[in-house]
Structure 1
Amino acid sequence: MKYFFTAFVSLATCTAGAQESLYTARDLTAENMFSQNIEGPNFDRDGNLYVVNFQKDGTIGKINTQNGSGEVFVTLPEGSIANSIQFHRNGHMLLADFKGHNVLQVNMRTRAVSVYVHHPFFNQPNDLCINKKGQLFASDPNWKNGTGQLWRIDKPGKAVLLANQMGTTNGIALSPDERTLYVNESVQRRIWKFDVNARGHISNKTLFAEFPDFGFDGMKCDKAGNLYVTRYGKGTIVVLSPEGKQLREIPLKGKACSNLVFGGEDGKTVYVTLQDRKCLETFRVEIPGKDF
């Protein structure tokens, strides 16, 4: 009986400890492993993690999620600095090149870098999300003027302007059913949602959420449709339900959180880029990311 009680207490303690570890940020990498433009974490189809601006601007780093070490995977052409990473269904890496005013493509086998799309009306392509058809959606802010645009990229060389009278467009994410597109405006601190039809056209722009302070940056959805939003300057990730209700706010160790991604074998580990600490933090959640 004593053994059973001891075992039960130990099991309860372990279970409580596991629960307590949810939503608790810890360091994955050392500080100052990246430039101040650390951003855009994402996983390829094999589960490898990539993050922009490893060690210096203009690079893409490949990060070991077990021990936090990293290496330069590719160096971009002179004049290009990436801000976001997405992967096409063909396996190629797509990058929002805010300095070169392009979306770039990286062949994952040869590591050759090419221009996926360029448009003379691009401001500074900032963040990307992609649907199962391979259509890319891109936020495109003009930071100087406090304005922004929204683009859809259907194939190499073809960019379609979806909206051009917005605030400082930044974070962008699709709902799990891909029928809703979320776009935030960093300076104006608003999050908008659009209906998305089968052809990738958007309509019914609706205010989803608005905050009185701090800024926004990258966003991602979990499998239940909850939206995880970086509160840049506050150092938290706010979680909003599909109805826009705040569910929780997760504190981080750094303040300048720039983007996040779900990963791990079960999709329940969130990886966050921090521009003030120039490193990655991570925490566990209950619901996996939408792509798991």
Structure 2
Amino acid sequence: MKSSHRPVLIISLILSFWNPLHAFQSEDLTPEFSFTEGIEGPAVDKSGALYAVNYGEQGTIGRVSETGMAELYLTLPEGSIGNGIRFDREGTMYIADYAGHKVYRVKRDSKQPEVYVEGPEMNQPNDLALSDTGVIYLSDPNWGEGTGNLWMVPGAGELVLLESGMGTTNGIEVSPDGKYLYVNESEQRKVWKYDILPDGTLSGKKLLISFEDYGLDGMRCDVKGNLLITRYGKGTVVLVSPKGKVLKEIRLKGKNPSNLAFGGRDGRTVYVTLADRGCVEKIRLPHKGSYYSKIH
């Protein structure tokens, strides 16, 4: 190949992954109602496969290919129903079990859930985030009372209460540089920002942004530190800067987005779970996902 052709080839390859004409436009990845209305916790493993809870029936986890082909991956023990999912750098899957007050661990190349931590004092572990040091942070809402807690899991079997008496804690995420933790309160429509201390505990709580209407659910950061937040009931995903400024609001097909995750060949595809449609929609963003980039 002549060297003069190389720039054209490089540009073509770039455009094959990122096309601004398709940015911020939602389309279906999976058929409607292939998952239950409890669809949640999307997470992408190192191979690029997408996982979400409650495939076909409650208490399951489904695996979805990049082309949208879904299959049953595993079934949780009786009495357990998953919500948030995250993978660590070793490929271990962690699952928040809101019905059984647990977090499960599923090691790479295994389909056997093991109890990583259990706490009957928790309301219902909802979503989780992983720090660069392997610490797990858990949101723990009490929907009936409109309150919530925030927990830390430093290691297997260790459960530390960081804050109680919050609003309905839900979406949770660590900033790309590992310095901050974001936690939202669904019914109060607030997003809080904390400093993460060397031991994993938190300080310096301050309000990042608040909204006047509709609920908040899952959150993820891109590599630039922008925070994507699902607007439950409104049918949008909102992009918020690290300073708390709304940069973009993306319209979805469904009304009740429950969570999201970055994936795709270049890390710029965002998979959004829709409770009212029981499926996954996907959108394209200009920047890769922060957490996705760390595990790939």
Scaled by the length of structure 2, the TM-score of the pair is 0.91
Query: Which residue pairs with 1:281 in the alignment?
Result: 281
* 211-220 or 88-97: bigger deviation: 88-97
Q: Per-residue displacement from partner, 1:87-116 (whole Å, max 9, x unpaired)? A: 133322110000111111123323111211
Q: Per-residue displacement from partner, 1:260-286 (whole Å, max 9, x unpaired)? A: 001112111100000001000001111
Amino acid at match of 2:249: E
| CA RMSD, 1 decimal | 1.5
Amino acid at match of 2:273: T
Amino acid at match of 2:213: D
Q: Per-residue displacement from partner, 1:187-241 (whole Å, max 9, x unpaired)? A: 1111111011222110111011111100000000000000000000000001100
Does 1:184 find its partner at 2:160? no
Does 1:134 find its partner at 2:148? no
Aligned length: 278
Does 1:145 find its partner at 2:171? no
Contact 1:89 1:132 in 2 (8 A): no
Amino acid at match of 1:109: D
Q: What SS does the aligned partner of 2:33 have? A: coil
Contact 1:193 1:207 in 2 (8 A): yes
Contact 1:81 1:97 in 2 (8 A): yes
Query: Which residue pairs with 1:124 in the alignment?
Result: 124
Query: Which residue pairs with 2:7 in the alignment?
Result: none
Q: What SS does the aligned partner of 2:154 have? A: strand
Matches for 1:96-107 after TM superposition, within 5 Å: 96-107=96-107
Q: Per-residue displacement from partner, 1:105-132 (whole Å, max 9, x unpaired)? A: 1233231112110123111000011012
Deviation for aligned residue 1:45: 2.1
Does 1:19 find its partner at 2:20? yes
Counterpart CA distance in 2 for 1:110 and 1:228 is 31
Counterpart CA distance in 1 for 2:89 and 2:50 is 17
Does 1:233 find its partner at 2:233? yes
Deviation for aligned residue 1:22: 0.3
Instruction: Tell me which stretches of 4 or more aligned residues in structure 1 moved more than 6 Å.
Output: none
Q: What SS does the aligned partner of 2:270 have? A: strand
Query: Which residue pairs with 2:46 in the alignment?
Result: 45
Matches for 1:242-281 after TM superposition, within 5 Å: 242-281=242-281
Percent identical across equivalent pairs? Answer: 50
Contact 1:89 1:134 in 2 (8 A): no
Contact 2:48 2:66 in 1 (8 A): no
Does 1:60 find its partner at 2:77? no
Counterpart CA distance in 1 for 2:65 and 2:91 is 20
Q: Per-residue displacement from partner, 1:167-186 (whole Å, max 9, x unpaired)? A: 00000001101111000000
Counterpart CA distance in 1 for 2:285 and 2:109 is 33
Counterpart CA distance in 2 for 1:246 and 1:140 is 26
Query: Which residue pairs with 2:201 in the alignment?
Result: 201
Q: Per-residue displacement from partner, 1:25-57 (whole Å, max 9, x unpaired)? A: 000011010011000010112222111111110
Q: For structure 2, list consecutive stretches of 5 or more residues without a partner in the other structure.
A: 1-11
